[in-house]
Amino acid sequence: MPIISLPDGSEKHYASNPTIDQIAADIGTGLHRAAIAGEFAGVLLDTSREIHTDGELKIITGKDEEGLEIIRHSTAHLLAQAVKRLYPSAQVTIGPVIEDGFYYDFAFERGFANEDLERIEVCMREIVSEKLQVNRKVIERDDAVSLFREMGEEYKAEIIEDLPEGEQISLYEQGDFVDLCRGPHVPHTGFLRAFKLTKVAGAYWRGDSSNEMLQRIYGTAWNSKSELDEYLKRQEEAMLRDHRKLGAELDLFHFQEEAPGMAFWHEKGWTLFRLVESYMRNLLRDYNYMEVHTPQLIDRSLWERSGHWETFQENMFTTEIEKKSYALKPMNCPGHVQVFNQGLRSFRDLPLRISEFGIVHRYEPSGTLHGLMRVRRFTQDDAHVFCSEDQIQTEVETLIEIALRVYSDFGFNEISVGLSTRPAKRVGSDDLWNRAESALQAVLEQRGMAYTTYEGEGAFYGPKIDFVLNDSMGRKWQCGTIQLDFSMPGRLDAQYVDTDSTKKTPVMIHRAILGSVERFIGILIEEYAGKFPVWLAPIQAVVMNISEGQKEYSVKISDSLKKAGIRVALDLRNEKIGFKIREQTLNKIPFLLIVGNREVETEHVAVRALSGENLGSQPKASVIKMIQDASSLN
């Protein structure tokens, strides 16, 4: 006789084992109609599952986060069923939930094109209208292998064969479609009302480039059509803000096949890059950092001692010179330890803060490269603080202060914080990891900062604090990181003489605020849609003449602005002024300075803001001050 406890504190008593569906019906008609699954004793279950023991039950609907994930997983199965109806020779492989949606990989000799998506969507909607019951079935592992082999689904059979012998396998059936899955799923396909297939891409079987290429269909799914429409609207806006599109339109950078994952920076883009770099350099000067520059190519032996060769080799670019192995640095930390090791260090030198805008190279599979967001060559605003154990809290608190100041200056004020703990593949003893994790946790708690713990997601050498930026479109970007390392300094023989004249190993704090400068600039481009604040704009003002007679005065105005430190361009083309204004507005230049005969006579400049606002005709000195004031961060 199970006793079911509900979230409102009430209880339901049953003489026999009820299903979750029955309990939902007993609670209320509306909840019963909306019920997707149940969470019983912390485990998500299908509504058809029986409850055999006392416990707490929460009915899950599409309004719950768990319910939305179930909808998306069920829609992936819906997609696979539609593909099998339309293209029987296609084999299904895996179909997981991802952020805002799902994908499913197929082995299909012809391949899919974007034009196929509409046809597949129509079929999916037909299956939704059929309201097919979704039923769970448990069978033995070997029987499952045989079943999928009989259906011609070799990929599914291979997945099951990798599972331990004797394990029971759960399958889900809807109509004539059967799929391997742990579940849970929606009760019937009629729950899947709001979805959209978005694109087709290639993907290697099991993510291994040595395996065959599959066809991946992406989609999004939501609890309601209004939520779907809102998401698609955000995606449309995101496409307009795409940094790759704006990078080309604003002449900032480009990529080409001869250097995959490595940006070619154009003049305006490189100006933006140097502005970001200069901002960070000036800030770090206030916090007593010494800036260094370390080699790109370093002997394998150093990477072996640091632990990178063992744990990170597959992501490193290597070469052989004079029968010795070298690697392009994927990280700056071992080089900074070498700087620390020059000369005898004392406790009086600590904390020692070393920074570098270090260019690093990491191998990323070609299929994962994505503009500036995922590259193979990038610059880190990297720094390492060498300190004693009793200095950790003060240094980490200062680093958090720096990070929050930087993000605020760039316009990001909504920040999420994560604490990532020891991964399975790591260096260092458990005692060192315990101390490192406790130290970071203590700082966050003493500052009263809300944070989420991510078990097993730390760096191989230490736990870390991560900063996630929330942009104006509600997207999240992982940027800065503070990593505590008790291992690498010892592995690389870093020592200092303590107050008692004994040699001690310093603690090493790895930190990057922007992370990858390239990626951060990509985020900025999308955040501002290319309309950078005046202090960041590669060109802050453009001087335009109306006709030939104002060229000389236009050049004079331009020269005065340059001498005042303003980044200015000249547009003296023999074009109509309306054409120039439209074009420079598309270039998203903050101030358009227009010179006509009246401006020449009065020694003024007509000023127009990027918004289209007419700021009137002003003396040169007033224009300079206005632009300088607008360029201030204060």
The residues assigned a catalytic role are 333, 362, 380, 382, 384, 464, 510
Give the type of residue at 307.
Answer: G
C-alpha separations of 438 from 399, 431, 471, 483 in Å: 17, 11, 31, 13
Q: Please provide the distance, in angstroms rounded to a whole number, between the alpha carbons at the two ends of the chain.
A: 68
- The encoded tokens of residue 30 equal 């509306």
Bridge partners (DSSP) of residue 539 are: none
Amino acid at 318: T
541 contacts 561 by C-beta, under 8 angstroms: yes
CA-CA distance, 156 to 174, in Å (whole number)? 17
Determine how β-strand 377-387 pairs with β-strand 352-361: antiparallel
DSSP annotation of 133? B
Q: Which residue has the tokens 């259906």?
A: 151
Give dist(CA 70, CA 45) in Å, integer: 10
The three-state DSSP-derived secondary structure of 317-366 is CEEEECCEEEEECCCCHHHHHHHHCCCCCEHHHCCEEEEEEEEEECCCCH
- In the three-class reduction of DSSP (H, G, I as helix; E, B as strand; rest coil), residue 482 is classed as strand
Q: Give Dmax (Cα) for the chain.
A: 97
Residue carrying the six token digits 């920074």: 355
Q: Do 545 and 605 form a contact (C-beta atoms < 8 A)?
A: no
Task: Give residues with Cβ within 8 angstroms of 193, minimum separation 6.
Answer: 128, 224, 225
In the chain, DSSP finds a helix count (H) and a strand count (E) of: 20, 33
**Dist CA 112 CA 437 (whole Å):** 47
In contact, 47 and 37? CB cutoff 8 Å: yes
